[in-house]
Structure 1
Amino acid sequence: MSSLLKPLDQGKLTLNNRLVMPPMATSKCEVDGKISKDILDYYDEKSRGGYISLIIVEHSFITQKGKASEGQMSIAEDSLVESLKELANIIHKNGSKAVMQINHAGSAASKDVTGFEPVGPSAVANPRKGNVPKELTKEEIKEIIEEFKAAALRVKEAGFDGVEIHSAHGYLLNQFFSPLTNHRTDEYGGDVLGRIRIHLEVIKAVREAVGDDFPVLLRLGAADYMEGGSTIEHSKIAAKEFEKAGVDMLDISGGFCGYIIPGVNGQGYFAPLTEALKEVVSIPVILTGGITEAQAAEKLLSEGKADLIGVGRAIYKDSNWAKNAIESL
């Protein structure tokens, strides 16, 4: 049997194959982040036929202060749950599982979008944006942890199959993880364990909100690919702690480099990261990064580079990609 077609039945999230559509921001929501007809149509089209076993819905902001961009999806208020149910239902009706990603942009936010001054772990320039945020107090960190907790409960109430905590692409949790942006000298800074303290507190709070049986995923920007940034060695330490804390699946991407590695092409370019992390955790690991052909996905799986394959841009460009890929195997 083809590796891509094999069901995944270890853990809390059972999937009928190994193909994942990773979260990709579309900016198709209403200005205030509410679900629009555009976004419902988009996910309806992408999930049709159930060829993609798991759809991770694009990042949604947990608070206005953490909104990344105009048209971004919101998970910041209880009143949104009803319309989010519609989104979950459409994906389910088409035969795919649906997970929702929750996020705080931190210093990647701008006052023009949020109406607030950007915040971050330390008052140092964001390598992608250049702006210097206000350093978060411990009190404010506690508030953000509560906002993640409330958002995760809304995801569950809306009928999704799991929630994904976003710590990649230079957003807030990733800013804590990266030595480039975390210069704190308190318990939320210093070595890797200090820099992931906020992650572990978020995981614990989310787990309290959703209970033991609800799948919790974490998207980790596992390396910055920048001088003085986070490395795979840091990520190995972090991944083991995340698994211990109750994360059910790791979704691997880049840190401050975003979803690309400068100067590196080829299909599955984050494979060295997922392969190294698979050696230290027993939970499933998702690999993304420039995968455009079913045969490449098949090869990466059969070589044990990952447990699941995320295909982003190819599916974004062609809604029939998954159907054609599955039928070609």
Structure 2
Amino acid sequence: MTSPFSPAALGPLTLRNRLIKCATFEGMTPEALVTDELIEFHREHAAGGVAVSTLAYCAISPEGRTDRHQIWMRPEAVPGLRRLTDAVHAEGALAAAQLGHAGAVANSVSNRAAALGPGRIPAPMGMSLTHKLAQDEIPALRAKFADAARLAVDSGFDALEVHCGHNYLISSFLSPLLNHRRDGYGGSLANRARLAREVIETVREAVGDRVAVWAKLNLYDGVGTPGPGHSSRLSGFNVDEACAVAQLLESDGHLDAIEPTAGSSLLNPMYLFHGRAPRKAFANAFHGAMKAGLQVAGPIFLKHYPYTDAYLLPLARELRKAVDLPLILLGGITDRASMDLALDEGFDFMAMGRALLREPDLPLRIEADPSTESLCTHCNLCMPTIYSSTRCPIRTGEATAPGW
């Protein structure tokens, strides 16, 4: 039986084990540049035993950030990024950079730039509508992805994750609910997948085979019915379409792996996380109209989904049947049993998030003692901390009152 702690190949890389620290936006870059706090965050996870620590979120352009405090890839960011990758490498791990454009999830007020979308769709964080990305603007967008990819490699990153999930820009093009275009980037699934395919091709051409490249791809946006056989314009992007897009991406030959994900930062964020919905804590993370809006709409927008280990596995199985590419299972990987289950089901790697916020050294402790149980309670109180400094409030002793 393959062990989750055995070395494994991912594209040109050899990982020391099969565990990846997934992208969990850190909220530690107030000047849109790397800080010592951010470096220590990733160094601690690398020292804790994962094979790869993923930096999130590296926007390809200023308007592609969810707010102005996020890193965007430019020459001024390289020295700090190099310090971060050096720190991760010193602990024996590899470093990945998540590249993307937030699209309608961007805060146009904070960024002082219009958010982008496949059409004029709501951008709630800026309380505005997006600018429709014109077809003749897409080559410039691709060039920004290429520049960002090259800067990441120059900064010492070993792998790149292209963000095609959560209804960020590329994901919004995939969604039949959000993309109503009538040109070559809308309508049929092949057209809606065109931007994803072009961006991934651009990234690969920019970096060659020097680094691993994988895509974070939505299986389900969290709207309508999640299971196979239910794709429709009203249900958003669903697992049937996700499998078809994954097959297109596989046929293009530019990816080393796919990390399936789910949920929508615009429409249904809790579907990605499962567990308690911290409505009160989310509202308290904002001020003014946003706080009031979340207090009123929280029960609608922040839904409750019961937590189980490996909770995305039922959808991810469909993807496993559809493609031969290596897959990275995300969602509820917290112990040796869930890791072994992922391997038994044909997944090549496992991505861990919240459990590592609570215990960065959890992989080392599970390797030493397979009976180790995670202390993460899946309360999701970590989620609202992304706007200040991502952390587990229980670990830091801040969670003195319920956040629900």
Q: Normalization by structure 2: what TM-score?
A: 0.76
Structure 2, unpaired ranges of 5+: 225-234, 275-303, 371-404
1:99–1:161 Cα contact (<8 Å) kept: yes
- Equivalent position of 1:241 in the other structure: 248
1:27–1:73 Cα contact (<8 Å) kept: no
Of 218, 229, 236, which aligns to 1:229? 236
Which amino acid is the alignment partner of residue 300 of structure 1? A
Superposition deviation, residue 2 in structure 1: 5.3
Which amino acid is the alignment partner of residue 5 of structure 2? L
Paired with 2:79 and 2:210, the residues of 1 have a C-alpha distance of: 22
- Equivalent position of 2:45 in the other structure: 46
- Equivalent position of 1:302 in the other structure: 344
The answer to whether 1:25 aligns with 2:25 is yes
- Equivalent position of 1:62 in the other structure: 60
Structure 1, unpaired ranges of 5+: none
**Alpha-carbon distance change, 67 to 302 in structure 1, aligned in 2, over 3 angstroms:** same
**Alpha-carbon distance change, 128 to 30 in structure 1, aligned in 2, over 3 angstroms:** closer
Paired with 2:167 and 2:127, the residues of 1 have a C-alpha distance of: 12
Superposition deviation, residue 126 in structure 1: 5.3
Q: What is the DSSP-based 3-state SS (H/G/I as helix, E as strand, rest coil) of the residue aligned with 2:99?
A: strand
**Alpha-carbon distance change, 223 to 126 in structure 1, aligned in 2, over 3 angstroms:** farther
Q: What is the DSSP-based 3-state SS (H/G/I as helix, E as strand, rest coil) of the residue aligned with 2:13?
A: coil
Which amino acid is the alignment partner of residue 41 of structure 2? Y
Which amino acid is the alignment partner of residue 263 of structure 1? Y
Superposition deviation, residue 244 in structure 1: 2.2
1:274–1:286 Cα contact (<8 Å) kept: no
Of 67, 72, 80, which aligns to 1:74? 72
Q: What is the DSSP-based 3-state SS (H/G/I as helix, E as strand, rest coil) of the residue aligned with 2:121?
A: coil
Q: What is the DSSP-based 3-state SS (H/G/I as helix, E as strand, rest coil) of the residue aligned with 2:33?
A: coil
Matches within 5 A, 1:4-23: 4-9=4-9, 11-23=11-23
**Alpha-carbon distance change, 235 to 127 in structure 1, aligned in 2, over 3 angstroms:** farther
Paired with 2:312 and 2:211, the residues of 1 have a C-alpha distance of: 27
**Alpha-carbon distance change, 156 to 190 in structure 1, aligned in 2, over 3 angstroms:** same
Paired with 1:212 and 1:95, the residues of 2 have a C-alpha distance of: 21
Paired with 2:220 and 2:46, the residues of 1 have a C-alpha distance of: 30
Report Cα offsets for 1:130-186 as digits up to 9, x if no partner: 743121111222211111111011111111111111011221111111112111110
- Equivalent position of 1:216 in the other structure: 213
The answer to whether 1:287 aligns with 2:294 is no
The answer to whether 1:94 aligns with 2:104 is no
Q: Which moved more, 1:235-244 or 1:129-138?
A: 129-138
**What CA RMSD, in Å, does the superposition of the two structures yield over aligned residues?**
1.9
- Equivalent position of 1:156 in the other structure: 153
**Alpha-carbon distance change, 127 to 194 in structure 1, aligned in 2, over 3 angstroms:** farther
Matches within 5 A, 1:243-282: 243-245=250-252, 246-256=254-264, 257-258=268-269, 259-260=272-273, 263-282=305-324
Paired with 1:226 and 1:275, the residues of 2 have a C-alpha distance of: 20
Percent of residue pairs bearing the same amino acid type: 29
The answer to whether 1:316 aligns with 2:357 is yes
Q: What is the DSSP-based 3-state SS (H/G/I as helix, E as strand, rest coil) of the residue aligned with 2:350?
A: strand
Aligned residues: 325
Paired with 2:316 and 2:350, the residues of 1 have a C-alpha distance of: 11
